Amino acid sequence: MSEAINFKMLVVAREARGLTQLELVSKITNLNQGNYSKMEKGLLPVPAETLNSISDLLEFPKSFFLKKEPIHEPGNHYYRKRASLPRKTQSQLEAKIKCLIIWVDSFLDDIEIPTFNIPEIRVNDNNQPDIIAHKIRGFMGLPSGPVNNLINVLEKHGVIVYFIRDTSEKFDGMTMFTNSGQPIIIVNEILANDRKRFTLAHELGHLVMHLRGLEIDTADKELERQANDFAGEFLVPYLDSRADLSGVMMKDLGILKQYWMVSKASLLYLANKRCLISPNRYQNMMIELSRNGERKFEGVPIEIDKPSILSKMADAYLNELEYSLPEMELTIGIKEKDFDYFIKQKPIEHKLRLVI
């Protein structure tokens, strides 16, 4: 069995549980950090007894460590974050996402979901982000006005949407591809719904303009600006919103937020960017939002639809293909608790060890 172990899975499992090498070996008898470090690098074989102990401690089935899928590292521009994440926090977040990717690919071996068919359109002189956003709306058959049921729209076009729990508030979202090429947009569950929607549209912009094919020789800051411009036009098209945002007043923002389903701050930003209000008025209104405490919490809730693809995949695996939980543990490499927590996303009564 030791020869079949994918040593990279040792790192993924450990970091997903938020443990350092030293913390792990301190909990396993007759294992020192020097030897374990070499095991994680593939320089030493992992004895069966040691693998059993690691499996029990980390609560990953032994089948997880036998997975042969390559593990891709995310580039920095995949992240949407409000500040730099601490190294340990980022490592745990990435490890949890790698686990999700491995499990999703295992489900996709047996279950079909909508084909990812959203076209790639690169930014150039004739295709600026707002024009590209308009083209994607047309491709998706969206009517004028707000984008209702945004998550359902993305899932119909083969994009898996995932709300990740128990992670740093500094993380907003990111886009990753599974090893079979299925895109997953991961969004922090704690975000307000208007910010979730903007993050989804921002990541869709990256997916359309930046993340496929050849490397792009563009600074990360410019890529982020392009994704923001895409998101603004995708969610609040200029021609459809011009009358609403022209000369907009503070008293109008609550109603407009509920209609367009984006934040008040975003509406003001778009009104200013599109020269529908003066820069001075924009600054004064943003100051008033801050004075009212609405830069962090705007107090006007909006609704958002829920991701459904992963839950449907899980139901099909158990009910239509009739896999038992022990069989799922063997084939997918996931224990029931993680299945409920990550895939079904059931409510939990206690904190798991995966909390950052």
Number of helical H runs and strand E runs in the chain:
16, 4
In this predicted structure, what is the pLDDT of residue 70? Answer: 63
In this predicted structure, what is the pLDDT of residue 83? Answer: 63
Q: Which pair of structure tokens corresponds to residue 12?
A: 């993924």
- In sequence order, what are the beta bridge partners of 244? none
Domain ranges within the chain, ordered by starting residue:
1-68, 72-238+298-356
Cα–chain-centroid distance for residue 141? 24
In this predicted structure, what is the pLDDT of residue 355? Answer: 40
CA distances from 100 to 135, 161, 163, 276 (A): 31, 12, 12, 43
In this predicted structure, what is the pLDDT of residue 16? Answer: 96
In this predicted structure, what is the pLDDT of residue 218? Answer: 79
pTM, entire model: 0.91
In this predicted structure, what is the pLDDT of residue 4? Answer: 81
Do 34 and 108 meet the contact criterion of CB atoms below 8 Å apart?
no
Q: Is the dihedral of CA 91, 327, 24, 337 positive or negative?
A: positive
Helices 87-108, 7-16: crossing angle, 10 deg rounding: 120
Q: Which of 177, 180, 136, 143 is nearest to 160 (CA)?
A: 177
113: Cβ contacts below 8 Å, ≥ 6 apart? 158, 160, 182, 309, 313
Helices 129-140, 193-209: crossing angle, 10 deg rounding: 100
In this predicted structure, what is the pLDDT of residue 192? Answer: 94
In this predicted structure, what is the pLDDT of residue 74? Answer: 58
> Would you mind telling me the total number of residues written for the chain in this entry?
356
Note down pLDDT in tens along the chain; length 356 residues.
445 899 999 999 999 999 999 999 999 999 999 999 999 999 999 999 999 999 999 999 999 999 987 666 655 445 666 667 788 888 999 999 999 999 999 999 999 999 999 999 999 999 999 999 999 999 999 999 999 999 999 999 999 999 999 999 999 999 999 888 899 999 999 999 999 999 999 999 999 999 987 667 778 899 999 999 999 999 999 999 999 999 999 999 999 999 999 999 999 999 999 999 999 999 999 999 999 998 888 888 999 999 999 999 999 999 999 999 999 999 999 999 999 999 998 875 544 444 43
| 1-68: CATH class | mainly alpha
Provide φ and ψ at 308, rounded to 5°: -135, -15
Do 342 and 100 meet the contact criterion of CB atoms below 8 Å apart?
yes
Helices 264-273, 238-245: crossing angle, 10 deg rounding: 100
Alpha helices (H) in 27-165, listed in sequence order = 33-40, 48-58, 87-108, 129-140, 150-156
User: Is the domain covering 72-238+298-356 a CATH 1.10.10.2910 domain?
Assistant: yes
Cα–Cα dist 7/38, whole Å = 9
- In sequence order, what are the beta bridge partners of 175? 185
